[in-house]
Amino acid sequence: MTKKVDVVVIGAGPGGMTAALYASRANLSVVMIDRGIYGGQMNNTATIENYPGYSSILGPDLGEKMYAGATQFGAEYEYGNVTGIEDLGATKIVHTDDGDYETKAVILATGAEHRKVGIPGEEEYAGRGVSYCAVCDGAFFKDRDLVVIGGGDSAIEEGLYLTQLAKSVTVIHRRDQLRAQKIIQKRAFANDKMHFIWNGLVQSVEGDGKEVTGVTYKDKFSGEETTIPAAGVFIYVGIKPMTDAFAGLGVLDEHGWVITNDKMETSVPGIFAIGDVRQTSLRQITTAVGDGGLAGQGVFNYIQSLGDEAIEA
């Protein structure tokens, strides 16, 4: 069975739900497809303190509120794993494991995932001291000792951000020098709160069953293991866009990020992309919501233009 709708939104995180809200409010039929529960990464966020309108709100609670808004004008949510998209001009076919959708416009909102180190304690203490976002979680660790794992731009920039809040920030890097830009390195080395452990291979995140208490690392050359105390561990070993299903569209850069203009349009008419799936400098709920609003309005304008072309013909 092939289901026909005006707009398919692939991903039901904050950006996808906002896009669905705007598109459905413009009287378009909309379906959001996600292989997980709506809300995306918000469901793994204990407390959100930087979303306008709330001094503090649980991530899953914000997801529920956004979902109620996204579906109030008829947008639907369906579980599914998208395997590919066919561009047939004015029509797109979205393939999933459970069937196909024929649509006029598609919004890619699948997001990105942080690469994991894959060490004991990383999953166990996620959201309880293990974080992948200093802007999101740094405020929870005021005047505490923190560890940053990584040595690239993101690791050092986020480490510098954390020094505004933390008592100390120790960077553990597996090499003997950073990979971050020289200007960023210069700022880091000049910061009295930042400390560095070189040639350190992180072995595990330690905890007391409730929260993080430290990090154990091994010296690459001596093999000696050391545990340092820490209330939080911020991991920056790369981010991977979730775009494998879109590889054949010609809308990705060499690293797999979707390329768009400032209207969230890709190079394929009728296909838009929003949120963390784009190459962007800030990945937050607020930025995803902003992208979603632009794309939701954009699909309406695009579908209207299809009608104009038919009239002109």
pLDDT, one tens digit per residue, over 202-239 is: 999 999 999 999 999 999 999 999 999 999 999 999 88
Q: Minimum mean pLDDT among 40-54, 75-89, 152-166, 213-227: which range?
A: 40-54
The pLDDT assigned to 309 comes to: 59
Task: Give 313's pLDDT tier (boundaries 50, 70, 90).
Answer: very low
Please check whether residue 247 is in contact with residue 161, taking contact to mean a CB–CB distance below 8 angstroms: no
pLDDT, one tens digit per residue, over 13-28 is: 999 999 999 999 999 9
Average pLDDT of the segment spanning 101-110: 98
Distance CA 101, CA 151 (A): 43
pLDDT, one tens digit per residue, over 115-150 is: 999 999 999 999 899 999 898 899 999 999 999 999
Average pLDDT of the segment spanning 69-91: 97
Fold designation for 3-113+239-312:
FAD/NAD(P)-binding domain (3.50.50)
- Positions of CATH 3.50.50.60 in the chain: 3-113+239-312, 116-235
Which residues, at least 6 apart from 63, have a Cβ–Cβ distance to it below 8 Å?
14, 37, 38, 39, 40, 42, 43
Handedness of CA 290, 292, 293, 295 (dihedral sign): positive
Distance CA 302, CA 67 (A): 25
Place of tokens 């020098």: 177
DSSP for 157-177 reads HHHHHHTTTSSEEEEE-SSSS
Please check whether residue 155 is in contact with residue 174, taking contact to mean a CB–CB distance below 8 angstroms: no
Per the structure block, which two tokens stand in for 209?
């069953």
Which sequence positions are flagged as catalytic?
Answer: 133, 136-137
116-235 is classed CATH 3.40.1390.10: no
Number of DSSP helices (H) and strands (E) in the chain, helices first = 6, 19
C-alpha closest to that of 288 among 133, 139, 179: 133
For the chain, give the percent of residues with pLDDT over 90: 88
pLDDT, one tens digit per residue, over 252-307 is: 999 999 999 999 999 999 999 999 999 888 889 999 999 999 999 999 999 999 98
Checking 214-219 for CB contacts under 8 A at 24+ apart, the result is: 215/147, 215/149, 215/172, 217/172
Say if residue 312's pLDDT is above 60: no
Per the structure block, which two tokens stand in for 291?
């992208």
Distance CA 16, CA 157 (A): 28
Say if residue 46's pLDDT is above 90: no
The pTM assigned to this predicted structure is: 0.79
The pLDDT assigned to 308 comes to: 64
Task: Give 311's pLDDT tier (boundaries 50, 70, 90).
Answer: very low
